[in-house]
Structure 1
Amino acid sequence: MTTGRTIHVHRHQWHLVWDHSISPIARIQSGETVSFDTLDASCGQIGPESTAESIAALDFTRLDQVSGPVYVEGAEPGDTLEVEFLDIQPAQWGWTAIIPGFGLLADEFPDPALKIWHLEGGADGWAEFAPGIRIPLSPFCGEIGLAPAAVGPHSTIPPYRHGGNMDTKHLTKGARLYLPVEVPGALFSLGDGHAAQGDGEVCGTAIETPMNVTVRLTTHKDMQVKEPQFITSGPLTERTNTAPYYVTDGIAPDLLEATRKAIRHMVEHLQKTYGLSRSDAYMLCSVAVDLKICEVVDMPNFLVGAFFPLSIFTA
């Protein structure tokens, strides 16, 4: 059943762990909509005037907070909760950072770095990385999930079978996500707004931004999923899949090391070809490069490709 009511979750109504003992801040019927006004992933510690010193001073216990939880009446363990993304609007600013200890190449980038972005044109707009390099915006939430049945608390940093920090760039407006319900009421929360991100989020941050997100939550009792599943809103990466890609391969007997090598090669390519600093090249990889597993059957090596869209260059 769909009703005309929309519940609003304010930006101060957040929590820092997944835990079914957290009291819901609202209760809705299946099919109703919820509008979330969320902080960025730093929980407000980073702002438009911040510098790299702000990264060094981050309180890590406040990172990746999620807004909610919302109780869906009638949702029971074994059901599936459908999350339909009706609208996703970023703020007018965002940030990307190298945070010491985070990211695919954390050992190779030990120093903090921060880029503040000005976001133009809302959800269908763009952000300028540097003169001649524009990133099309495609906003989504990195954190989307339900409370687990297991006794908490559980960190919001990793993904789980009930959702969490999935960082899946294709959960944009119009997409539908299906999550397994583990506790009565499902206890839905979301956060970690991203204005744009490459598949993989290699440095550990995307274009992080506060977000306004509206979703419709619907319980399905005749559908069971063991882990998250979703339907995209249409063809993938329509706004960047408009020109050739430059691809660097990484080959190794370990899939993670093959991924690291692909990104190392891309960082070097961006430095040599476009004159970017090593830190800027790494952050650009995080917001624009898509990682793809190209080969997993010809042992002893795996092959991972880092796909860089040449469409982001405006000159």
Structure 2
Amino acid sequence: MGRDVALPPLSKNVHAGSAGDDIKEKVGKEGARTVPGRPEHGGNCDIKNLSRGSKVYLPVHVKGAKFSVGDLHFSQGDGEISFCGAIEMAGEITLKFTVMKEGIKHLSMKSPIYIPGPVEPQFGPGRYIYFEGFSVDEKGKQYYLDTTVAYRQTCLRVFEYLRRYGYDDYQIYLLLSCAPIQGHIAGIVDIPNSCTTIGLPMDIFDFDIRPETRAEKKELGSCAFASS
């Protein structure tokens, strides 16, 4: 199919924190990359609820393991659907480390666990309007329990809804990546269709987007994009 299904270690752009050059070189030759997110290290999962006050339990597989953190997001929606559409930011992080002896065995850990902090990424009173999507594409082709197809269809429902107000597709695409949308797997138990939902925060708009309010097309500008 021509798809990457496993990425080997790669020495390009290795970030090894304060480790010396010898360790950095070893990480580049042997370490599991943080793109994509993977169970060994919890890197690059871009979970928007990992905010101030969160507690993260990470498996440690290597004696003397190092730790690094980065890619801070000011705001992001579940899925970060345009790949690099979150609002990136500089910042400082205060961390406290505790080693849990035999933690992987004690927690039956196969991948990281986290407890979110008290700071929820939301606007205003937290009102959301939700859209559904299923694992059936726009041509009616059914993809058996494929939640990626379902989430894409959910995104398209939001596109169709917001176009009514004058937004173009580029604007909506970026909005779904950087606004703190709530993405959920609603149903994967009923074959053959999986169902996903997206909750769009209504209070990020300065006009009423509730369904009972008639949509008026507005002049909402445009965003920069690369042309061929």
Query: Please, which runs of 5 or more residues in structure 1 have no aligned partner?
Result: 1-16, 23-60, 72-147
- Greater share of helix: 2
* 2:93 aligned with 1:213: yes
Query: Which digits, 9 at most, give the CA deviation of each residue in 1:142-165, with x for residues without a partner?
Result: xxxxxx999624333211222111
Higher RCO (Cα < 8 Å, 6 or more apart): 1
**Corresponding letter in the other structure for 1:246:** I
| 1:160 aligned to which of 38, 41, 63 | 38
Cα distance, 1:211 vs structure 2: 2.2
Cα distance, 1:290 vs structure 2: 2.0
Task: Please tell me whether the aligned partners of residues 175 and 232 of structure 1 are also in contact (alpha carbons under 8 angstroms).
Answer: yes
CA distance in 1, matches of 2:126, 2:54: 24
| 1:232 aligned to which of 99, 102, 116 | 116
| 1:249 aligned to which of 132, 136, 145 | 132
CA distance in 2, matches of 1:223, 1:270: 47
CA distance in 2, matches of 1:262, 1:233: 28
Query: Which digits, 9 at most, give the CA deviation of each residue in 1:184-222, with x for residues without a partner?
Result: 122101111111111111111211122222211221115
Cα distance, 1:268 vs structure 2: 2.0
Aligned to 1:275: 166
- Greater share of strand: 1
CA distance in 2, matches of 1:279, 1:155: 30
Cα distance, 1:292 vs structure 2: 0.6
Task: Please tell me whether the aligned partners of residues 59 and 103 of structure 2 are also in contact (alpha carbons under 8 angstroms).
Answer: no
> What root-mean-square deviation, in Å, do the aligned CA atoms of Structure 1 and Structure 2 show?
2.9
Aligned to 1:301: 193
Aligned to 1:171: 50
Query: Which digits, 9 at most, give the CA deviation of each residue in 1:79-112, with x for residues without a partner?
Result: xxxxxxxxxxxxxxxxxxxxxxxxxxxxxxxxxx
Query: Please, which runs of 5 or more residues in structure 2 have no aligned partner?
Result: 1-7, 21-25, 136-143, 208-228
Query: Which digits, 9 at most, give the CA deviation of each residue in 1:91-137, with x for residues without a partner?
Result: xxxxxxxxxxxxxxxxxxxxxxxxxxxxxxxxxxxxxxxxxxxxxxx
CA distance in 2, matches of 1:159, 1:275: 35
Task: Please tell me whether the aligned partners of residues 134 and 196 of structure 2 are also in contact (alpha carbons under 8 angstroms).
Answer: yes
2:184 aligned counterpart, secondary structure: strand
Cα distance, 1:264 vs structure 2: 1.3
CA distance in 1, matches of 2:178, 2:34: 21
TM superposition score normalised by structure 1? 0.51
Bigger CA drift: 149-158 or 173-182?
A: 149-158
TM superposition score normalised by structure 2? 0.69
**Corresponding letter in the other structure for 1:208:** E
Cα distance, 1:240 vs structure 2: 3.1
* 2:168 aligned with 1:284: no
Give the alignment of 1:23-38 within 5 angstroms: none
CA distance in 2, matches of 1:208, 1:170: 15
Query: Larger radius of gyration, structure 1 or 2?
Result: 2
Query: Which digits, 9 at most, give the CA deviation of each residue in 1:209-264, with x for residues without a partner?
Result: 22222211221115323210011113744x33724312221111321101110011
Task: Please tell me whether the aligned partners of residues 133 and 195 of structure 2 are also in contact (alpha carbons under 8 angstroms).
Answer: yes
